[in-house]
Copies of this chain bind each other. A is one copy, B any other.
Amino acid sequence: MPLHRFYYAQGLFSAQDKQEITDRITKNYTDLNLPAFYVIVVFIEVPEDSIFIGGKPATNFVRVVSQHLSRTMDSYEGKQAILDFLEAAFAPYVKDRGLDWEIHVEEHERELWRTQGINPPLPNTDAEKLWAKENKAIPFQ
């Protein structure tokens, strides 16, 4: 459900960094009782001459694009909470290392979403709880 794409110049993150960032992001969602397998993280590394901020090569910058499908946030406070938890997840690898960053979250329509060919269950239903417990998509009524 949440799809997180990180865009940055090659070399900013090691394989271990990527694993740890992902672990921290994933935990955010499992702490909310979402199935772990909903959380997809993709690191899209480009050459230093292929990413720019303000007209300059962005050698010190990470751009995050996050997409949510399972949950939407109606209130300003809810939206900030999402941003807070995502920024906290990657802060040790970005802010704390002196990198610059920018993030936005998009909310897309759950009726146009499927995993393993199944429209995922609504939030907090028994089916979603089972998916979280078993950590896989299971057909349901």
Contacts and interface: CB of A to CB of B under 8 A. Distances in A.
Contact of A55 (B3, B36, B50, B112): B36
Interface string A86-122: 0100000001000011111111110111111101000
Interface residues on A, range: 35 or more
Contacts of A87: 114, 117
Contacts of A7: 40, 42
A52 interface: yes
A23 to B, nearest CB: 5
A54 B26 contact: yes
B23 A37 contact: no
The A contact surface, by secondary structure, is mixed
Contacts of A135: 54
Nearest to A57: B19
Interface of A: 3, 7, 15, 18-19, 22-23, 26-27, 35-46, 49-55, 58, 61, 63, 65, 67, 69, 73, 76, 79-80, 82-83, 87, 95, 100-109, 111-117, 119, 135
21 contacts: A3-B104, A15-B49, A18-B49, A19-B49, A26-B52, A39-B53, A41-B52, A42-B50, A42-B51, A44-B44, A44-B50, A54-B135, A80-B111, A82-B112, A87-B114, A101-B116, A102-B113, A102-B115, A104-B109, A104-B112, A105-B113
